[in-house]
Structure formats: C-alpha cells, structure tokens
Structure 1
Amino acid sequence: MGKRHEKLGIKQTIQRHWMDRTVQMMLAGMTEKEIRLELDAYLATQKQSGGMGERGRKTYGMAIGILASWFSPENDLIPLRDDALFIAKGLPVVEWLPLHWAVISASYPFWFNVARQVGRLLNLQEQITQAQIFSRLKELYGDRETVARNARYTVRSFVAWKILKDSETKGCYVKSTPVSVTNAQIILLLESALHASPEAKGSLSVLLNSPAFFSFCIPSMSGDLISQHSDRLEIDRYGLDDIFLRLR
C-alpha cells in the first residue's frame, strides 16, 4: 500500500477511449498478453491529444502501464477490477466513465489526490488555475518538477474525459456537468477512495461528499445498502449517525 500511495505514475495524458478499448478487449475474452500486443500496435498510432499520428514506444508504453490498471492490477485490487468489469458488461460504453475512475484511482492514488485538490478549488470558485492545483499538490508531494509534470498530465486527462473544461484563459479550467452514477458504481467509487487512502477507512458522509468526486452526482447512501451489495467493505457504526467504512 505504501509504495502505491507514494508513486506518481501519470506520465502522459490518458484518453478515455483508450480505457474503453481496453475494457472491450477484456470483455471479448482476450488474455493479458493479447491485450498488451493489441495496445502496443494501437497506441503507436494515437497521440496524447486524442488525434492520430505515429509515436515512439517509450512514450506510449507509459500509457500501457496505466491501462494495466484494468487488465493487470495489483493482487489486492483484482476483486474491485472484477466487479467493475462485471458492471461494465451490463452498461453501454458511454456509461463506463465512473468505472474507469474507480479502477485508475485505486491503482494510482495520485490521480485521486489531483481530483481532490481540483474539487476543493471548484468548491471555492467557478474557475481554477493550473498553478493553484500544483501549489496544493506540492504541499502533499513536495516541490518537485515531476509532481507538476504528472499533475499536468492528470489534469489534461480530466479535460480529455470531459469532466473539466478549458476556459478562454490558457491554464484555467471550469467544471463540466457532473455525471450521474448508479448505486453499484457509487459503491465501487467508495471502495476506490479507500484504496486511494493510506488509512483505508473513512466516514461514509465524508466519502460521499469527497471533493475528489466533483465530476459525479453522488446522492446519499445508507450503510445497510452498502452492506447488501459489497462484501469487501466493513461498516462500523458509532452512535446513531456516525458510519465508517473500511476495507475488510
């Protein structure tokens, strides 16, 4: 858990349709080796900007590492990935975004932490700047150029996924319309948030209102409903209203 929370790892902009393609290959029953070979050929033609064009193995290989959150996650994340894949099977591709978010946040807590800082800033103002995001992240990860670079790629991924929008001013962003999510997706997002936290636990009300979920419409949810739909989340009750979640 420690190494996962310390790493940055978002070394280029990730296009959402790359994630979609990865899941489609998994649902088609392709093996990890087959998926890697297919992505190797496909990403060689895909620019970070979303357009077409030749790229070197060194650059697009970094993207394969992130897409591996789906087809080759760490052992403790396999059950979450398997549930996400099961949910994806019953949904149209356009509704997979929360599943991608959960899978990548669990594997790369840096992604989740960038989202949390973006969400906190959006709670305070309608338009936010790259500099504001980087400043907050440096308080967590240190004042390193790699932090700013990885954060820049993460934010550009948010824009590519259409959960943030470029404003008329360069380096400034505004919020997009939040995405609706199903109960199953909410529970998966909550589990991913616990994986993204070193403590692996948290208040249910705090998690549901996490600024990291700024891109989703997340309604209130009872601990009983979570218990009925997940055997990986432990519910701890303190008094009448205090409900805490933790990973089993």
Structure 2
Amino acid sequence: MGKRHETIGIKQAIRFEWMQKAANLLLAGLDAKVIRQELHEFFADRKVSASECEQSTQTRTFVVNNLMKIWVSPDQELMPFRDASLEILQKNPSMAVPIHWGLISAVYPFWFNVARQTGRLLALQNQITQNQIINRLKEQYGDRQTVSRYAKYVIRSFVAWGVLQDSEAKGCYEKSAPMNTPEPNLAILMFESALRATPEAKGALKLILNNPAFFPFQLPVMTGDFIAQRSERIKVVRYGLDDELLKLVTT
C-alpha cells in the first residue's frame, strides 16, 4: 500500500473541534489554498499545545499540515473514501466522532495502531498506562524515540476527543462509555477505514468487527453480502464454512 503505513506523521495532538473546522471548510466548497489560509488564521490566536514552549509557528504548521492531509488533500487512493466520509458527515453530523476517527485512521495508520493497542489493553484491564501502550507500539515500530513522543500526542488526542479519560493517577487512563453507531453505511465506512489502515488491505469480517482499534464505538453486526451490496470499494471473499474476508477493490 506504500509509505502511508510506515509513516508516523502525527507530530501534535489533534483536537476533535479542529477536525470539524477542516471538514466544515471543505463542506463550504472552499479550495485547498483558501482552506490552508483559513486554518492558519484560525490557529493564529489559539493554543495548540499544553506546553507554552511549544506555541511556535512550526507547531501550528504541523497541525495545519495534518488537517490538510486528513480532510483536504489526502493521498489520491484515499479520495473516494474521503468523499464518502464527507457525504456521511453532511447527512449525519451527530456521528462526527466515528467519521473523523475512520478518516484519520486511514490517512495515518499510526493513529489506528495506537487505538488498537489501547483497545487491547482496555479489554484486559479497567485502567491502562501510557507506558503500556507505548511498549506495545515499540514491538511494532521499533524502539525509536519518535514512536514514544508521537504516541503520546495520539493518546492525548484520545483524551481530548473524550474516548479516554484521565484517571486520578498521572499517566493512567480509563475507557469512556462506548458510542453507539447504528447507521449501517457509517459502520461500513469504519470497516473500510480498518482495511485502509492495514498494509494487506484485507481482513476477516469477524476480526474487523471486533477490532480493538474501534474501542470507542459499538458497531452493528452485519453480513458480508450486506456490506458488498452497499459498498463499491469493498469485496467479500468466502472461505471455510461461514467465514468472510473483506478486501479493498483495487482499480
């Protein structure tokens, strides 16, 4: 699938309301150049980091670049997925959190992998630590300093989005109540995001449905046939007696 799956990319915590701002500018019909300018003006007098020493032009540029990459100018192969996400957001604004979650996971698979390790740990215990998440990520990405630093940004994003809660102990987190996402087309979009966040671009339906990266959400159970009928970007391959494999349709 290319460089996307190897790149960490997120160099600053991403707040939910910033994602909304970028999407709303796109929905307003503005072009990329104007949106970039609008975002720079939006952040000109806003605090983008908890640390005062990081309130630099460079930090704001990191955030704007991330938002542009997610909503405005994603990789060409992600454009149909972005367009579908935008359409569902326009029709279901109350479902903004899972829509943003799916798109950022596809554009930056590192987000998806931090979520996956977070969800795995939350399935085992009620409270988890930042170090536990980071140690699991190092097994995947190697023991690089950037992995530790950027993972902290993603974890802080989870807290800012309200899907993780700070516990009384510093660096320790608890799961928030999961969000119900009953809309079938949105759930299918989430499944597609998992495929796009995976280098192989395929996965067993049962595993995707229960992927720990979706720990903040309750996704509806559905069949492969139902998914294939509603998505032109996903095909279903049956194997075994009743197992179904989802694959991205390649053009």
Length-normalised TM-score, structure 2: 0.94
Aligned to 2:125: 125
Q: Is the contact made by 2:184 and 2:220 (CA closer than 8 Å) also made in structure 1?
A: no
How much does 1:2 deviate?
A: 2.7
Show CA shifts across 1:34-88 (max 9, x none).
1000001112222235899x94320011111221211111000000000000111
Q: Is the contact made by 2:116 and 2:211 (CA closer than 8 Å) also made in structure 1?
A: yes
- Secondary structure of the residue that 1:221 maps to in structure 2? coil
- The share of aligned pairs that are identical, in percent, is 53
C-alpha change, 1:63 and 1:108, in structure 2 (3 Å) is: same
- CA distance in 2 between partners of 1:221 and 1:168 (Å): 39
- CA distance in 2 between partners of 1:45 and 1:246 (Å): 44
Show CA shifts across 1:156-207 (max 9, x none).
0000000000000000000001112121111111111111111110000000
The reply to whether residue 137 of structure 1 matches residue 137 of structure 2 is yes
- CA distance in 1 between partners of 2:173 and 2:49 (Å): 17
- CA distance in 2 between partners of 1:177 and 1:187 (Å): 22
Q: Is the contact made by 2:178 and 2:216 (CA closer than 8 Å) also made in structure 1?
A: yes
Show CA shifts across 1:6-53 (max 9, x none).
11111111110000111111111111111000001112222235899x
Q: Is the contact made by 2:16 and 2:160 (CA closer than 8 Å) also made in structure 1?
A: yes
More divergent stretch after superposition (40-49 vs 79-88): 40-49
The reply to whether residue 198 of structure 1 matches residue 190 of structure 2 is no
- CA distance in 1 between partners of 2:130 and 2:56 (Å): 28
Aligned to 1:231: 232
Q: Is the contact made by 2:117 and 2:212 (CA closer than 8 Å) also made in structure 1?
A: yes
Q: Is the contact made by 2:13 and 2:49 (CA closer than 8 Å) also made in structure 1?
A: yes
- CA distance in 2 between partners of 1:231 and 1:243 (Å): 17
Unpaired runs of at least 5, structure 2: none
Show CA shifts across 1:208-242 (max 9, x none).
00000000001211111111210000100124411
C-alpha change, 1:49 and 1:189, in structure 2 (3 Å) is: same
- CA distance in 1 between partners of 2:160 and 2:51 (Å): 11
Aligned to 2:95: 95
User: Number of matched residues?
Assistant: 246
Show CA shifts across 1:117-153 (max 9, x none).
0000000000000110010000011111110000000
- CA distance in 1 between partners of 2:172 and 2:50 (Å): 20
- CA distance in 1 between partners of 2:51 and 2:27 (Å): 25
The reply to whether residue 219 of structure 1 matches residue 220 of structure 2 is yes
Aligned to 1:151: 151
Aligned to 1:82: 83
Q: Is the contact made by 1:45 and 1:55 (CA closer than 8 Å) also made in structure 2?
A: no
Match runs of 1:1-248 below 5 Å: 1-48=1-48, 55-68=55-68, 69-92=70-93, 94-181=94-181, 182-248=183-249
- Secondary structure of the residue that 1:236 maps to in structure 2? strand
Instruction: Give the letter aligned to residue 70 of structure 1.
Output: W
- CA distance in 2 between partners of 1:132 and 1:101 (Å): 22
C-alpha change, 1:51 and 1:225, in structure 2 (3 Å) is: farther
- CA distance in 2 between partners of 1:185 and 1:71 (Å): 20
Unpaired runs of at least 5, structure 1: none
- Secondary structure of the residue that 1:128 maps to in structure 2? strand
Q: Is the contact made by 1:235 and 1:243 (CA closer than 8 Å) also made in structure 2?
A: yes
Length-normalised TM-score, structure 1: 0.95
What RMSD over aligned residues (CA atoms) do the two structures have, in Å?
1.6
Q: Is the contact made by 1:15 and 1:50 (CA closer than 8 Å) also made in structure 2?
A: no
- Secondary structure of the residue that 1:21 maps to in structure 2? helix
